[in-house]
Every structure is written in structure tokens, then in C-alpha cells.
A and B are shown apart, each in its own frame.
Chain A
Amino acid sequence: MTNPGAASWSFDEEDLNALTRAVSRFLSETGAHSALIADRAGQLVATVGRPLSFDPMVFATLTAADFSANDQLARLIGETDFTTLFHQGEKESMYVADVARRLILVTLFDNQTPIGLVRLKMKPVVEELTAHLDRAYSRARESGTTQPNILAGAGEEIDELFNW
């Protein structure tokens, strides 16, 4: 059975390394302490920089929801979308950017880091991430999928998994 609603996609080690490298560089350029990459459905892809003191999976879900809600707000005021969101706190702030409408890059920084710098350096890193994604996608299109379907023929194993 194919699921026409959902375009499945996948990351391999190399994709992930490329994304993480670009984001690490961005963190050191700006002085921001951590970043998190999620997909638009709220699934956590990677965390970069200083380890987070909270559950990154929960954070990914809430940011994706936040982003989608803001997208709808944008539409209501006649914009197609907001490509970035900024939430400012007393000590900690976060800057959220859309990457090719597929991923979300969340940058966390304290009040030592000027927002202007984050904003300035955000654009090139988003472009770099977009380029990586585009490559991953065109590779997927050319070869059908990026990876062999790991679940192919796993019918019985799936049945067994739910044998409880």
C-alpha cells in the first residue's frame, strides 16, 4: 500500500553531517550557544552546539506548531508566510528560520549575542542548508529513493512487533 498523503523522506549520515557542519560554523560566527533542526512536521533532525537543558523533541514539536500557526497568521494579513520568527526573553532569546519550507532552524542565544548579528549570518546559513537539501532531494528523485527501503518485505516482522 502506498500512502498518497505523505511524501516520505530520509536523511543519511552524510546529509546530516553537512547540515550540522554548516550550523556549527554559524554558531561560532555569531556566538549563539545552541541550535536545533526540526522538520516542518516537528520531528527532530539534529541538535548542534551546547547541549540543551530541555527535551529537544518536545522543543521541535512546539516550534513546528508555532511556525505553522504563524504561517496562517501571515496569510491572514496578506503575506504568503513569515520566513523567520523572533522570540525575545530577558536572558535567552530564540530566532527561528524556515529552510526551504522543509526544515526549521532554531537558534538559541543569550543577551551577549546581538540579534543583528544572528539575523545577518542567518541568511547565508539558510541558503547553504537549502542547497544541501536540494541536492539530497534531487538525488532522491534520480534514484527513486536515497536509500533502499529498509521496511521492504518486513510484513511479518511488523506483525511480530505488535505481538504484545
Chain B
Amino acid sequence: MSMINYAAREINCKIVYYGPGLGGKTTNLEHIYGKVKPDTRGKLISLATETERTLFFDFLPVDLGTIRGFNTRFHLYTVPGQVYYNASRKLILKNVDGIVFVADSQVERMEANLESMQNLYDNMAEYGYDLTRMPFVIQYNKRDLPNAAPIPELQAALNPGWEPAEATKARVTPDPYHAGQNLVDQISTGQWVERVPYFEAVAITGEGVFDTLKAVSKLVLKALA
């Protein structure tokens, strides 16, 4: 739920990093925290177990600049990826404006990715939110590992596309982030499908981390415009 505070001239939006346990959600926030200027971000709050697994959430507020005199402040949250913590995960999704799904590229984690994606969809549906109509991007993380699955395989499993929300969207739309690929196109059966933007990342080095953040923030602001 974005909140426009006219008195403080601020637009506040909430972005949630979702995905399977150990996929790299917290690492994304740590990288952002380390890289943005201290005067444009707050503290990084982590409610974690002794072993650094997220227990409730991580939270980092960042200012991404001003538009029409309003400061755009993004509240970044991560959820605990471990299956066990679904109740807390669901709480964090409340009033979300945009979602980043951080997938673990390792072949062995495919099942966990799928389970987490289904869980995201279900939790959103319980709040009455339709994931397919929200600002949503996918990050394929841990691209540095030798056992990382190829992108087309990950795309087929986690980002197969869905029917475009509006009939007017049923036209070829190029993926601005990958030359030669389309976000919306027609598959062999003649059916139109719409995919969400995806990014490859190595969160421990920061590769792809800001591309992901920028893309989702942009989608969130455009949804308000």
C-alpha cells in the first residue's frame, strides 16, 4: 500500500524480496545497504536467528530520488524463506506494492524455487492480491555457481508466462532488459503469454542487484502514475 504523505512530501512504497531459504534475499539488501549513500538510506534491521537465517524480516528504507518535488522512499523487506515460517512470511506481504522473487539458480534448488513461487501466489491470493497484475520481477541468483541451471530452464519453470491481463496487452512487447527476447508474445498454440522481467545476479558480489531493484521500483511508480 503506497502512501503519499503530502505534508512531508514523500511517496512511500513497500517492496518485498521473496523466495526459497538461503536463496540470497538478505544478501541483496546487505549489498544495497553497503552501496547506497548513507544519507539516502536508513538502518538495515534484521530479525534473524543466531545462524543468520531470517526469522521475521529484514528491513531497509532507501530513497531513490525526487519526482515532482516528492521524495520516493522504498521500504525493502525480505521474508524468511524457510518453509516453516509461513505465518511470518504472510504478514510481511501485507500491503506490498512490488515483489522481487529471488530464485536460487542451483539445479538442486529447483523444487524449492517452485514451492516458494506457489507459496507466494497462494499467500497473495489469501489477501486478495493478484500476483500476475502486480509489479513483479524475478532474480536468478547465484549465477556464479557451477551447478547453476541454464536460464531457459529456469524461465520455463518459474516464469512461463500467463495470459495477459488485458486484451490490449496481447501484442509483441520486447523485453527491455534482454535484446531479442519478448515479455509478451504468442506461443505456438496461438495463445498470448506475458512474462515478468528477469535478472541474473550474483548477490554476494552485487552483480544484478541494483538492476533488479531499479526495475521493480520503476514498475511500482509506474503503477501509481
Partner of A45, one of B5, B87, B134, B222: B5
Partner of A16, one of B7, B88, B133: B7
Q: Is the CB of B218 within 8 A of A159?
A: yes
Task: Tell me if A41 is interfacial: C-beta within 8 Å of chain B.
Answer: yes
Q: Which interface residue of B70, B94, B218, B225 has the most chain A CB atoms within 10 A?
A: B225
Contact count band on B: 35 or more
Contact count band on A: 35 or more
Residues on B with C-beta less than 8 A from A10 are 3-6
Partner of B223, one of A3, A62, A159, A161: A3
Task: Tell me if A153 is interfacial: C-beta within 8 Å of chain B.
Answer: yes
* Given A65-B57, A151-B67; A55-B42 close (CB under 8 Å): yes
User: How far apart are the CA atoms of A153 and B129 in the complex, in Å?
Assistant: 25
Residues on A with C-beta less than 8 A from B127 are 5
Tell me the chain B residues, 67-106 only, with Cβ under 8 Å from chain A: 67-68, 70, 72, 75, 87-88, 91-92, 94-97
Residues on A with C-beta less than 8 A from B135 are 3
Task: Tell me if A1 is interfacial: C-beta within 8 Å of chain B.
Answer: yes
Q: Is the CB of A3 within 8 A of B133?
A: yes
Partner of B94, one of A68, A151, A153: A68
Residues on B with C-beta less than 8 A from A8 are 1-4, 224
User: How far apart are the CA atoms of A159 and B217 in the complex, in Å?
Assistant: 10
User: How far apart are the CA atoms of A162 and B134 in the complex, in Å?
Assistant: 19
Q: Is the CB of B43 within 8 A of A55?
A: yes
Task: Tell me if A22 is interfacial: C-beta within 8 Å of chain B.
Answer: no
A94 → chain B, closest Cβ, in Å?
17
Q: Is the CB of A1 within 8 A of B222?
A: yes
Q: Is the CB of B225 within 8 A of A152?
A: yes
Q: Is the CB of B2 within 8 A of A58?
A: no
User: How far apart are the CA atoms of A100 and B65 in the complex, in Å?
Assistant: 32
User: How far apart are the CA atoms of A3 and B134 in the complex, in Å?
Assistant: 6
Residues on B with C-beta less than 8 A from A154 are 67-68, 221, 225
Q: Is the CB of A161 within 8 A of B64?
A: yes
Task: Tell me if B124 is interfacial: C-beta within 8 Å of chain A.
Answer: yes
Task: Tell me if A2 is interfacial: C-beta within 8 Å of chain B.
Answer: yes
Task: Tell me if B214 is interfacial: C-beta within 8 Å of chain A.
Answer: yes
A48 → chain B, closest Cβ, in Å?
13
Q: Is the CB of B97 within 8 A of A3?
A: yes
Q: Is the CB of A2 within 8 A of B223?
A: yes
User: How far apart are the CA atoms of A150 and B68 in the complex, in Å?
Assistant: 7
Q: Is the CB of A6 within 8 A of B43?
A: no
Q: Which B residue sits closest to A62, measured CB to CB?
A: B45
Q: Is the CB of A155 within 8 A of B225?
A: yes
B66 → chain A, closest Cβ, in Å?
8
Q: Is the CB of A61 within 8 A of B1?
A: no
A145 → chain B, closest Cβ, in Å?
9
Q: Is the CB of B70 within 8 A of A150?
A: yes
Q: Is the CB of A68 within 8 A of B128?
A: no
Residues on B with C-beta less than 8 A from A1 are 133, 222-223
Of the A-B pairs whose beta carbons lie under 8 Å apart in the complex, a sample of 19, sorted by A's number, is A2-B223, A3-B223, A3-B224, A5-B127, A5-B134, A8-B3, A8-B4, A8-B224, A13-B7, A43-B75, A65-B57, A65-B91, A65-B92, A69-B56, A150-B11, A150-B67, A150-B70, A154-B67, A162-B214
Residue numbers of A with Cβ under 8 A of B are: 1-13, 15-17, 39-43, 45, 55, 57-58, 61-62, 65, 68-69, 72, 147, 149-155, 157-159, 161-162, 164
Beyond the given pairs A69-B91, A155-B222, A159-B218, 12 more chain A to chain B contacts, judged by CB atoms under 8 angstroms and listed by A's residue number, are A3-B223, A4-B134, A7-B1, A43-B75, A58-B42, A65-B47, A72-B87, A149-B225, A150-B11, A150-B70, A151-B11, A157-B67
